[in-house]
Amino acid sequence: MNVAALLRGVELATRPIHPETRTALELRWAQLPEHVKTPGQLLGRAAVGCEGTHGVFPKCNLTCSPCYHSADANKVRIDGVHTLKGVTEQMEYLRSVRGPRAHAQLIGGEVSLLPAEDHAAALQAMRANGREPMSMTHGDFDYQYLLDVVLDQEGKPRFDRVSFAAHFDSLMRGRRGAVRPHNEAELNPFRAKFADMFTTLKREHGVRSYIAHNMTVTPSNLDQVTEVAQAVLKMPYDMLSFQPAAYIGDDRRWSGGFDAVSIDAVWSRIEAGAGHPIPWQGTQFGDLRCNRTAITVNAGIRRAALLDPDDPRDLAARDRALAHFGGMIFGGTPTWNVGAKILRALLAHPGDVPHLLAFALRLMRRAGGLRAVAAAAFKRRLSFKTFVVHNFMDAADVAPAWALMEQGVASDDPKIKETQERLGACMYTMSHPETGELVAACVQHSVLDVGENIGLRKMLPLRPLTHPPEKGDPASASPASADAASADAATGPACTSNGKG
């Protein structure tokens, strides 16, 4: 490599915003509907949005009510080759359209049913395409499985950090040790045990983690959100995410009253559990009817909002950060590289320095002052918690709204119009490289999953295609015999998927 090429490489590596990221963000912003182009909008300014896989391992071994996956999902065999191929193709397409960096969920069934080597390979394929993967699970697996995913055959870490989202709520059936939980509190030991696995992983192998706690909310457990938030905040989860139930996916798993659970109703209970307001109005991620997000800083026992939406100085700092730092890639980037990017951004915009310093001082004061923050940092008790409520839409609204959008028709019907507006501003995308489409997860689960799973069922049948089994040899169905048992269960009222995306 000659000197000029080396210098060009260093310049690109330390450029605050990667040019491909900038292009992807600008396109994203241009495609957003006008009603979400607010000063606090993060889509198209700081991020391209979240992404998720689909159709790569539809099966699950727990039962949820509701279940967002199609009734056929549990009749598809787990197949690592198919998983890796699908994940790679979907991520490559997202990389080409959405730029070099995004957060993506490895989702679409129960990820821990994948053999550990396949799970690890899927994460590597996502990383290879600039995706920060998060494995979405019901959390009912043993520490050894986590080790098998994270460590290679020689016991060395394949990853320096991993990210998992665990779904725990009393609407799930079949968890080992809590087959039919009567209430949310019964699951707290399982929530804690899951989180502890990652603390142990860090201690024993130095692998960092980011873990999220997911809970579906229906009228039956809405009033337990407060105690769940209270309990989970004491555990080392980084994110608390709640999803009001929607009429989407497997209609055998629906019950009445889902519409009665609003984002506001869930948020007020989260705040009650946290013991303080969690202001969210300073930023938005997509459409506010879909998604609400806020971050707090925790300094020991004191928690404070990262951004105070009532303080115009905080909002001015936000505006500068989004304008000049939005899209900067931190994850998977060496510290020196991040430092160089920040330095270059500050040199290009020196007027930001006093605003950002003043913001940092206000944040420190909110979090208890310099001494409290320093003490918390010293004791490794300084952390951030992200709160999310994601409000999926009903299939009955999404299907007609999407059909009209495919024809380029804007609906006059108020409900379908609202649905189209939300789909147009979707922050949670799934990719279809075969058609060149990016679709909202709502569309995937409301419209596309059914046909996709019919095809997958044929491609990956639970039993080998050599029916009937040889006489007296039911094991001729092996290795899919366990799958077949699940399939039988799935023909009953149970669909077994915990995925909410």
Any idea which residue has 């949820």 for tokens? Answer: 64
| Range 119-148, binding ligand SF4 (CB under 6 A) | none
Measured from the CB atom, the residue of 325 and 428 that comes closer to ligand SF4 is 428
Kindly state whether residue 422 participates in binding ligand SF4, applying the rule CB under 6 A: yes
Q: Residue 259 has what DSSP assignment?
A: G
* Three-state SS annotation for 328-367: CCCCCCCHHHHHHHHHHHHHHCCCHHHHHHHHHHHHHHHC
For residue 371, what are its two tokens?
């001494």
> What is the closest distance, in whole angstroms, from the C-beta atom of residue 423 to ligand SF4 in the complex?
5
Q: Which is nearer to ligand SF4, 248 or 299 (CB)?
A: 248
How many residues bind ligand SF4 (CB under 6 A)? The answer is: 15
* Shortest distance (Å) from residue 484 CB to ligand SF4: 33
Q: Tell me how far apart the alpha carbons of residues 477 and 484 are, in angstroms, rounded to a whole number.
A: 8
Nearest to 419 by CA among 449, 455, 395, 439: 395
Residues 87-126: x where in contact with ligand SF4 by CB under 6 A, - otherwise, as a string: ----------------------------------------
Distance separating alpha carbons of residues 501 and 492, to the nearest angstrom: 23
By the rule CB under 6 A, 442 interacts with ligand SF4: yes
Q: Determine which residue in the list 147, 394, 428, 462 makes contact with ligand SF4, applying CB under 6 A.
A: 428
- Distance in Å, CB of 252 to ligand SF4, minimum: 22
Residues facing residue 178 across a β-bridge: 175
Q: Is 423 in the site for ligand SF4 (CB under 6 A)?
A: yes
Q: How far apart are CA 310 and CA 274, in angstroms?
A: 20
- 143: Cα within 13 Å, side-chain hemisphere: 12
Q: How far is the CB of 428 from ligand SF4 (least distance, A)?
A: 4
Closer to ligand SF4 by Cβ: residue 135 or 391 = 391
Beta carbon nearer to ligand SF4, 231 or 438: 438
Nearer to ligand SF4, 273 or 400 (CB): 400
Nearer to ligand SF4, 190 or 428 (CB): 428
Residue with tokens 């706690």: 213
Q: Which residue's CB is nearer to ligand SF4, number 44 or number 181?
A: 44
CB of 66 to ligand SF4, least distance (A): 14
Q: Note whether 172 binds ligand SF4 by CB under 6 A.
A: no
> CA torsion angle for 405, 408, 412, 418 (degrees, to 10)?
40
Residue type, 181: P
Interface mask (CB under 6 A) for ligand SF4, residues 267-296, using x and -? -------------------x---xx-----
DSSP per-residue letters across 16-42? SS-HHHHHHHHHHHHHS-GGG--TTB-
What are the C-alpha distances in Å from 80 to residues 86, 104, 306? Answer: 10, 19, 41
Q: Which of residues 470-499 bind ligand SF4 (CB under 6 A)?
A: none
Minimal distance in Å, beta carbon 283 to ligand SF4?
15
The single residue among 393, 405, 480, 495 that binds ligand SF4, judged by CB under 6 A, is 393
Peptide bond into 66 cis (omega under 30): yes
3-class secondary-structure state, position 214: strand
Minimum CB separation of residue 238 from ligand SF4 in Å reads 20
Per CB under 6 A, 61 contacts ligand SF4: no
Compare residues 60 and 290 and give the one whose CB is closer to ligand SF4. Answer: 290
- Binds ligand SF4 by CB under 6 A, chosen from 125, 392, 420, 421: 392
Q: Which stretch binds ligand SF4 (CB under 6 A): 102-110, 125-133, 140-148, 419-427?
A: 419-427
What is d(CA 197, CA 285) in angstroms, rounded to the nearest whole number?
30
Residue type, 212: A
Closest approach of Cβ 421 to ligand SF4, in Å?
Answer: 9
Nearest distance, CB of residue 24 and ligand SF4, angstroms:
18
Q: DSSP class of residue 211? A: E
Shortest Cβ 212–ligand SF4 spacing (Å): 16
Strand ranges, E, within 102-206: 102-106, 131-137, 161-167, 172-173
Q: Which of 47, 426, 460, 490: binder of ligand SF4 (CB under 6 A)? A: 426
* CA separation for the pair 284, 265 (Å, rounded): 18
Exposure pattern of 318-337 as b/e (b: 16+ CB <10 Å)?
bebbbebbbbbbeeeeeeee
* CA–CA dist 285, 386 (Å, integer): 13
- Kindly indicate which of the ranges 74-82, 354-362, 385-393, 464-472 contains the residues binding ligand SF4, using the contact rule CB under 6 A: 385-393
The contact set with ligand SF4 (CB under 6 A) reads 286, 290-291, 390-393, 422-423, 426-428, 440-442
